[in-house]
Chain A
Amino acid sequence: MEYIRAFITGGIICVIAQILMDKTKLMPARVLVIYVVAGTLLTGLGLYDYVVDFGGAGATVPLIGFGYALGNGVMEEVAESGFLGILTGGMKATAGGITAAILFGYLAAIIFDPKAEI
């Protein structure tokens, strides 16, 4: 059941992005920006928790979940270390993902060459 909920939640989040891309001519990068910002703000308002409770990875794996991590991270950090947490919380909570992306991106650049599309 958990898996079905993750599947449906993730699927619906992707479909909304697809509709945004197809209907409004929004470029992928813009949709991703909208998702991250929306995820962060919804988390700040305490609304995204409901989606995560229902969908699990279906809510955290899409990029909107990256916003969820940012939002939660900054709030936890503010609760713990006060004002300075505003600046450190977001980056701290997402450090693993961003650093991993840089590492794997760099390694991929060393290993692979661009291939022509045919």
Chain B
Amino acid sequence: MEKFIGSQTIQFECPPHILGASSIVGPKEGEGLLKDYFDLILEDALWGEETWEKAESKILKETIHLAIKNAGIAIDDVRYVFSGDLLNQLIASSFAIRSLNKPFFGLFGACSTMGESLILAAMTVEGGFAKYCVASTSSHYCSAEKQFRYPLEFGNQRPPTATWTVTGSGAVVVGNHGQGPVITHVTPGRIIDLGVKDPMNMGAAMAPAAADTIVTHLKDTNRKPSDYDMIATGDLGSVGKELALELVKKQGYDIEQVYTDCGVEIYESDKQDTHAGGSGCGCSAVTLTGYLLKSMKAKRYNRILFIPTGALLSTTSANEGESIPGIAHGVVLENIE
């Protein structure tokens, strides 16, 4: 039987389960609004390592181990690992997964990687190609700043539209049977680029992609925004959130009642000086594995549309004057009886 509906969406026949999840975050995230939901809050962003890159790898590795433990399975049960990050050539993921001794798919979806990895893990499991798969991602403020912007000690100013890269990692174990919420639908997103060039306003660059995936998903599934308890985009921040809301409204859907953004949820913007909010792969990943999934477990939310968003730029493309392409992947999570 065909499992695809509409133009982009997949409807699973036997929806795969999220058996376990985990989140490890840095000290700043541990002081934010979601601090009570994370599994582990680090006191030091280096976590005993020598470099930011090694620290990020360690965070990712430990997060994956924790997710496997939380799922109640052994590492040997895991068949494939889907993971990615922001660093050039995915070094955070490669070096983290090097010691797991498992087949690895390295993904680059910028900050949408949690969505991309979840979709591929769910398809692999539901297709009968694996019993258990891991989907994970990470980001680190210091390694991202170093690669994309300025050295940490450089005294530059951040505009109010800038976002703060989350230090943290989220991992999920997807399996074909067991306890936990299921993934009923996924809507992989298209690359949308409406010409935003300002790398200090990534929310604006990604909002059109988020809006496109939300509208496409609702059309494909014939659902209304009110069919969801929550629609949560990845890391648009306060500026991008407003823009996405406006763009979705233009296409005839009012999502305001159920809509939020992980980048807005994670920090206390005024106090923590994070300007427009959080961003980075870790932003949507730890919000999902911390806040969203734990709220689902408590039955506060029963059906969520989770849409991590990514800005597909590099320092080279930005220097060469290219605009910033955005992408957003939709995943429907549902509590079943």
Instruction: Note whether A and B contact each other (Cβ less than 8 A).
Output: yes
Distance in angstroms between the alpha carbons of A28 and B158 in the assembled complex: 11
CB pair A114 B141 closer than 8 Å:
no
CB pair B28 A21 closer than 8 Å:
no
CB pair B156 A116 closer than 8 Å:
no
CB pair A21 B157 closer than 8 Å:
yes
Indicate which residue in B145, B152, B157, B198 contacts A115 across the interface (CB closer than 8 Å).
B152
With A21-B157, A25-B198 already in contact, the answer to whether A114 and B152 are too (CB < 8 A) is yes
> Using an 8 Å CB-CB cutoff, how does the interface string of A82-118 with B read, 1 for contact, 0 for none?
0000000000000000000000000000000011111
Which residue in chain B gives the minimum CB-CB distance to A22?
A: B159
Residue B46 at the chain A interface, CB threshold 8 Å: yes
CB pair B152 A116 closer than 8 Å:
yes
CB pair B141 A116 closer than 8 Å:
yes
Which residue in chain B gives the minimum CB-CB distance to A18?
A: B157
> In the complex, which range does the number of interface residues on chain B fall in?
10 to 19
CB pair A117 B152 closer than 8 Å:
yes
**Extra contacts besides A116-B142, A117-B145 (18): CB < 8 Å:** A21-B157, A22-B159, A28-B156, A114-B52, A114-B153, A115-B152, A115-B153, A116-B26, A116-B27, A116-B44, A116-B45, A116-B46, A116-B152, A117-B141, A117-B142, A117-B152, A118-B27, A118-B45
Q: Could you tell me which residues of chain A, from 12 to 54, have a CB within 8 Å of some CB in chain B?
A: 21-22, 25, 28
Residue B127 at the chain A interface, CB threshold 8 Å: no
Residue B151 at the chain A interface, CB threshold 8 Å: yes
Distance in angstroms between the alpha carbons of A22 and B161 in the assembled complex: 12
Q: What would be 13 A-B contacts, judged by CB atoms less than 8 Å apart?
A: A22-B159, A28-B156, A114-B142, A114-B151, A114-B152, A114-B153, A115-B153, A116-B26, A116-B27, A116-B45, A116-B167, A117-B145, A118-B27
Q: Which of A21, A25, A28, A117 has the most CB of B within 10 A?
A: A117
Q: Could you tell me which residues of chain B, from 136 to 164, have a CB within 8 Å of some CB in chain A?
A: 141-142, 145, 151-153, 156-157, 159
Which residue in chain A gives the minimum CB-CB distance to B28?
A: A118
A-contacting residues of B (Cβ < 8 Å)? 26-28, 44-46, 52, 141-142, 145, 151-153, 156-157, 159, 167, 198
- Nearest Cβ distance between residue A38 and chain B, in whole angstroms? 21
Distance in angstroms between the alpha carbons of A28 and B157 in the assembled complex: 9
- Nearest Cβ distance between residue A27 and chain B, in whole angstroms? 9
Distance in angstroms between the alpha carbons of A117 and B198 in the assembled complex: 23
- Nearest Cβ distance between residue B239 and chain A, in whole angstroms? 15
Which residue in chain B gives the minimum CB-CB distance to A108?
A: B153
> Using an 8 Å CB-CB cutoff, how does the interface string of A64-97 with B read, 1 for contact, 0 for none?
0000000000000000000000000000000000
Distance in angstroms between the alpha carbons of A114 and B198 in the assembled complex: 27
Query: In the assembled complex, which residues on chain A have CB atoms less than 8 Å from the CB atom of B157?
Result: 21
Distance in angstroms between the alpha carbons of A118 and B27 in the assembled complex: 7
Which residue in chain A gives the minimum CB-CB distance to B46?
A: A116
Which residue in chain A gives the minimum CB-CB distance to B44?
A: A116
Q: Which of A21, A25, A28, A118 has the most CB of B within 10 A?
A: A118
Which residue in chain A gives the minimum CB-CB distance to B157?
A: A21
Distance in angstroms between the alpha carbons of A116 and B151 in the assembled complex: 11
Chain A to chain B: the 9 pairs with minimum beta-carbon distance, closest first: A116-B45, A118-B28, A114-B152, A116-B142, A28-B156, A118-B27, A117-B152, A114-B153, A25-B198
Which residue in chain A gives the minimum CB-CB distance to B142?
A: A116
Which residue in chain B gives the minimum CB-CB distance to A112?
A: B153
- Nearest Cβ distance between residue A30 and chain B, in whole angstroms? 12
Distance in angstroms between the alpha carbons of A118 and B31 in the assembled complex: 10
Distance in angstroms between the alpha carbons of A67 and B28 in the assembled complex: 41
